[in-house]
Structure formats: structure tokens, C-alpha cells
Chains A and B, each alone.
Chain A
Amino acid sequence: MMSNLTRAERANAMVIAGTGAFIGLVMAAAGRGDPMGAHGWIVLAFCGALFFVVGSAYEDPEPTQDRTASYYDDPTKVGILIALFWAVVGMGMGVWVASQLAWPDLRFDAAWSSFGRIRPVHTSGVIFGFGGNALIATSFHIMQRTCRARMPDQVTPWFVLLGFNLFCIVASSGYLMGVTQSKEYAEPEWYADLWLVVVWVVYFVLYIRTLARRNEPHIYVANWYYLAFILVVAVLHIVNNLAVPASLTGAKSYSAFAGVQDAMTQWWYGHNAVAFFLTSGFLGMLYYFLPKRAERPIYSYRLSILSFWGITFFYIWAGSHHLHYTALPHWVQTLGMTFSVMLLVPSWASAGNALMTLNGAWHKVRDDATLRFMMVAAVFYGLSTFEGSFMAIRPVNGLSHYTDWTVGHVHAGAMGWVALISFGSIYALAPVLWRRETIYSWKAVEWHFWLALAGTVIYVFAMWNSGITQGLMWRTYTESGTLAYSFTDTLVAMHPYYVARTFGGLLFLIGACIGAWNVVMTIRRMPSETPERDYPTSSESREPALPAAE
């Protein structure tokens, strides 16, 4: 894979990896006795390993591949495999966290394995590790195809992919050591945040550079969704993580905001992380892979534009619905609530657009589990956005907030929508990327589909029941005006649902493991298909990119 880089590119990559290793060494030396020092060693090991991987291929002959004839897919392939790895790790941690709630002894009394530390490993593992890598990999694929242009160079995509994964590793290892900013989905400390800014800006520039080289006059709608994801996440990440480090040699920092401003900034970030990390980019995936797999153009391209701008402009205002009945000014709460309800329009426009695209191709949905993954993802997208708008209404939130209903809602979106569209896209992508005739086992895809669907439904129903029970018990008063139930009473009532939720999550995890195995077996065992098109030709042969008949 590294021998596809020119010697100059290999040298560049080694300089970057060497610089990273040096920074790691400085962190390790300066942060002695602090978790930052441990992170320094991790950075040093990661960058050092990359330095030697590239370095061992440095003396290989220059590549003969004709770069004008093919897209650059190596980082996409690696990204897909890393995404599947994180899926297994992140969902595995999820099952463990869920088990701890049902059976607290499963903490095993260690500090690192406490609920507060492994829960963010689960959330970051699935959102950033699995979701982020799936987004980056598919965006590399889609930007080149829809632009009919190869990426401008071969080092930048590797920097983005591996740099992002270094962030994920530093983040999750930090949680286990107790390093956290205590901000939901923004837990990593200041140096990890700074590193992500660098990676993210390079990602944005790479996308723009590819678009600038495009040979299609119109920028396909999926690219708009991916660009919104990249651009807005950069803005959110920078603003919410503004902080002053307590010392430059330690991990601890203090937020630039205080009190209700801090809460508002965090939930402006938190809700838009859902909007732009967990929705916008995945809609890009949906708008590309669903029409492609169904072999039908999207039902209404006009509607896809309208929903794009609707989502982009409405979502950014919705975050304050996380702070109903708090010190936040009442009108700001009402603003967030109103925009959350309005969001139903663009959300359902996208979900409806996806389902209408399949209208007339239901036999394909029946026969093809890959397409079924995407169809069910669109249904769950419609369901969870309806639920989200509903829960944002202040009196409804009075019942649902702080209960498991919220957890159920998030998982309907994360499992039913985000994970299913990602798995569907990965199954559609794997044979194309690795030039295999088909996926290794279609039966395994079916198993994965039904396990994932059953797991999601069990999980979501358990949390609905648990959340509403919990919410009602909290607000039940006796005749004398005191609370009827103690907190422990609610825990006892929730226990069976916690067991059910763990089981649902376990089914989902088993499905993900089958999926990862199936993709690996596709790469290793399936006979390769000689593609009629888009195959790299050597520059010496001066072969035409397309067979002469075309």
C-alpha cells in the first residue's frame, strides 16, 4: 500500500510521522507524573510505528500506476476496516456498560473500569471511532466519484484518517485514566482538541481541493451534506472546547465559559454533534449509496436540496431544548423548542425521499439485505426525528428529561439510523473497493440485518418502558404532598428493562462482529473480479483508461 506513494510522498509522510513522534516525546518528558505523559508515550508509539511502516517501503521502486486513470482508494479501504474494528470495540464497551447497570458487580472494583470512565469509551468509540471512520472513508469514496476526479495528493488523506484515529486513541485511553472535560461528546482534554482542529482543517481543505478539481459542473447533494458535517463540526468543536489549560505540562483545563453560558455552549455543541456528526454526513451516505444500490435516481433531487438547507439552518438553533426548566432564559428554551419542532419538515423530507426512491423497487429491498439495511435506516431516521421533535416540547421534556427515554431515543437514532446506514453502505462498498465479485456470505448479511433490527427494537422498547416508568415514579406525590417513591424504588422498577437492554445491545454487537468477519472474508477469500473500468494502468503502457469498445 505504501509503495503506491511516490518517493517524495513517502519522504513527506516520514517527516510528518517523525514530527508527531517528536511531539509525543516532548509530551512524555514534560508531562511526567501526569496522564499527559502517558499520552505522550502513546503518541510516540503511534507515530513511531507509522514512521517505520513508511520507512520500510521507502526504498521500493517508484509506482508505475497511472494516476489519471483511477481513483485513490487505499485510505478508503483502511478506513472501512478501522471503522469495523471500532464498531466491535465501541459496541462491546456498550454491552459492558449496560451490564454494569443491571449487575453492578461487573465493575470488578477497578478505577479504570468504573461506569463514568468506560461509558465515554463506548460513546466516543461508536460515534467517533465507528461513525467518524465510516464517514471519513465513505467521503473519500464519494467525493472522488461524484467529482469524477482523483484526490489531489496521496499523503493528505492518510494524514486525515490516521490523525483522526490518533485523536480517538488519545481520547479513549484518557477516559480510562480519568482525563475528561466532563462535557458530553467533548470529553477529551485541550491537547487532543487542538490536534483534532489540525486534522479537521486538513480534512476540509482536502475536500475543497478535490471539489475544485471536479469534472462535473454540478456538486452532487451528498457532497453538500458531507461538507456541512466537516465545516460545522469544526466550528462547534473549536467554540465548545475553548479552555485554559491549568498548566502546559498537565491534562487539566478549565472551560472559558461559566454557569449557564457554559451549559448553553455545551448543548449547542452537543445537539449539533447529533445534527452534523450523526445526521448530516450519514445523510450524505444515504443520498449516495441508496440510489446507487437501488439503481434508481433519488425520487426528488429538489427536495434533497430543500431538506439540506432546512436541516442546516434549523438544527443549529435546537440545542437549548436540552436545558428546559433550567436557569436558561425562557425565550431561549422556547426558541430551541420551536426549531426542534420545525426540524420535522426537513427530516421527514429526507426520510420520505429515501422511501419514495425505493417505491417501485420493493422486490430489491426484499431480496437484497444491503438495501434493506438502508431502507430500515431511513425508517428509523423518520421515527427518531419525530420522537426528537416531540421530546423537545417543554411539557413532554418535563416527563422525559433525565430518564431512560432519552437514552432510548438516542439509541433509536444511533443504532437504527446511523449504524444501519453505515453497515448498508459498507456492504455496498466492500465488493466495489476490493474488486470482489460479491460479498463473502449473503446469509451472514441476512443474519446481521435481523440481529441488528431485533437488537435495536428490544433496546428501544426496553428504554421507552423504563424511561416512562421512571419519569412517572419521580413525579408521583402522596396525599400529604411528599414523593411517593424513593430513588431506590425506581431502580428496582428499572432492573428488568436494564437486563433487556443489555440483551438487545448484545444482539446488535453479535451482528456487528458477523459484519466485520464477513468483510474480512470477502477480502481474503472471494475471487477478485477483473473490473472493466477504473483499473490502474501503468504509465509506461499508455493504455487507454476505458476499453476501446467504449
Chain B
Amino acid sequence: MDIPHEWFVGFSKSFGLFYLIALSVGITAYAFWPSLGNRFDKAAKSILDDEDGPARGDDGSDPEDEPCR
């Protein structure tokens, strides 16, 4: 199979451009989506006090044995 150089250039300049624009728009929308603010604030604060060991269930069970809640 022989793919000519011109084809690659055309593909990079057309598809490459639009998929990067789509990605940028998608990520910006996600990062600045208003209703996600609470989740992000919580995440930002979550690391400030994290030396209390792995999380445990209320009954003393080990939640790590279960998949992510």
C-alpha cells in the first residue's frame, strides 16, 4: 500500500485541525461547566487533610475490597 505524501499533508491539515478544535471546545466546556463547580471545589480541598489513612466503612470493613463507590 502506498500512501502519497500529499494525502498525509491534506489529512493532517483538515482532520487534524478540526479534531483539535473539537477537543479544545469539549475540554473547555467540561472545565468551566457551572454545575461541576461543587465537585471541583471539593476535590481541591480533599488533599489538604489526607494523612488519616485509607478510608474505611462505618462497620470497620475495608471498602477497598469493593470497586469505587
Residues of A within 8 A of B (CB): 68-71, 144-146, 148-150, 212-218, 220-222, 288, 291-292, 295-298, 301-303, 305-306, 309-310, 313, 329, 331, 335, 432, 531, 533-534, 544-546, 550
B69 & A534 in contact (Cβ 8 Å cutoff): no
B9 within 8 A of A: yes
* B interface secondary structure, majority: helix
Assess whether B44 is interfacial by the CB under 8 Å rule.
yes
A546 — nearest CB in chain B belongs to which residue? B52
Q: What is the bound-complex CA distance between A269 and B68, given in angstroms?
A: 35
Given contacts A212-B67, A309-B27, A331-B9, A534 and B44 within 8 Å (CB-CB): no
Residue in contact with A70 in the complex, picked from B32, B53, B68, B69, CB distance below 8 Å: B53
**Chain B residues in 8 Å Cβ range of A288:** 47
* B32 lies within 8 A of A291 (CB): no
List, in ascending order, chain A residues with CB within 8 A of B39's CB: 218
A-B contact pairs, 28 of them (CB 8 A): A68-B64, A70-B54, A144-B54, A146-B47, A212-B67, A212-B68, A215-B54, A215-B63, A215-B64, A215-B68, A217-B69, A220-B46, A220-B47, A291-B44, A292-B48, A297-B41, A297-B45, A297-B48, A298-B44, A302-B31, A302-B32, A302-B37, A306-B31, A331-B9, A335-B12, A432-B51, A533-B53, A534-B51
Q: Cβ of A545 and Cβ of B47 under 8 Å apart?
A: no
Chain A at the B interface: SS class = loop
Most buried by B among A146, A217, A302, A545: A302
Q: How far is the CA of A387 from the CA of B28 in the complex (A)?
A: 26
In the complex the two chains form, what is the Cα distance from A329 to B51 in whole Å? 53
Q: Which residues does chain B contribute within 8 Å of A149, judged by CB atoms?
A: 54-55, 64
Q: Which of A292, A305, A329, A331 contacts B47 (CB 8 A)?
A: A292
A305 to B33, CA, bound (A): 12
Residue on B nearest A211 in the bound complex, by CB? B68
Of the candidates B30, B40, B63, B68, the one whose C-beta lies within 8 Å of that of A301 is B40
Query: In whole Å, how far is B18's beta carbon from the nearest beta carbon of chain A?
Result: 13
Q: Is the CB of A213 within 8 A of B30?
A: no
| CB neighbours of B62 from chain A (8 A) | 68
Option from B41, B45, B52 in Cβ contact (under 8 Å) with A534: B52
Question: Whole-angstrom distance from the CB of B59 to the nearest CB of chain A?
Answer: 12
Closest A residue to B66 using CB positions: A213
The answer to whether A302 and B40 touch across the interface, beta carbons within 8 angstroms, is yes
Residue of B nearest to A147 (CB): B54
Also in contact, A545 and B53, with CB within 8 A (given A220-B43, A301-B43): yes
The smallest C-beta distance from A378 to any residue of chain B, in angstroms, reads 17
Residue B60 at the A interface, CB < 8 A?
Answer: yes
Q: Which among A213, A292, A309, A534 is the interface contact of B53 at CB below 8 angstroms?
A: A534
Q: Assess the B51–A305 pair: CB atoms within 8 A.
A: no
What number of B residues sit within 8 Å (CB to CB) of A?
Answer: 36
CB <8 Å contact, B30 and A145: no
Bound Cα distance A144, B51 (Å):
10
Q: Is the CB of A313 within 8 A of B64?
A: no
* Given known A-B contacts A217-B68, A305-B27, A309-B27, A69 and B47 have beta carbons under 8 A apart: no
Which B1-58 residues have C-beta < 8 A from chain A? 9, 12-13, 20, 23-24, 27-28, 30-32, 37, 39-48, 50-56
Which of B23, B37, B41, B52 lies at the interface centre, i.e. has the most chain A CB atoms within 10 A of its CB?
B52
A contact residues around B52 at 8 Å (CB) = 533-534, 545-546, 550
CA distance A298 to B45 in the complex (A): 8
Q: How far is the CA of A222 from the CA of B47 in the complex (A)?
A: 10
Give CA–CA (A305, B41) in the complex, Å.
13
B40's closest neighbor in chain A, by CB? A301
Question: Shortest beta-carbon distance, A409 to chain B, in Å?
Answer: 26
A533–B62 CA distance with the chains assembled, in angstroms: 17
In the assembled complex, the Cα of A313 lies from the Cα of B21 at a distance in Å of 11
How many angstroms between the C-alpha atoms of A310 and B30 in the bound complex?
13
A533 nearest CB neighbor, chain B only: B52
Q: Is the CB of B47 within 8 A of A303?
A: no
Given the complex of chains A and B, what is the CA–CA distance between A217 and B62 in angstroms? 16
Q: Which residues of A contact B69 (CB under 8 A)?
A: 215, 217
Let me know if A544 and B60 touch, CB within 8 A: yes
User: Are the CB atoms of A291 and B64 closer together than 8 Å?
Assistant: no
Are the C-beta atoms of B47 and A291 separated by less than 8 Å? Answer: yes
**Nearest 8 A/B pairs, CB to CB:** A215-B55, A297-B44, A534-B53, A301-B40, A148-B55, A533-B52, A309-B27, A68-B62
B40, chain A: closest CB distance, angstroms = 4
By a CB distance below 8 angstroms, the chain A residues around B48 are: 291-292, 295-297
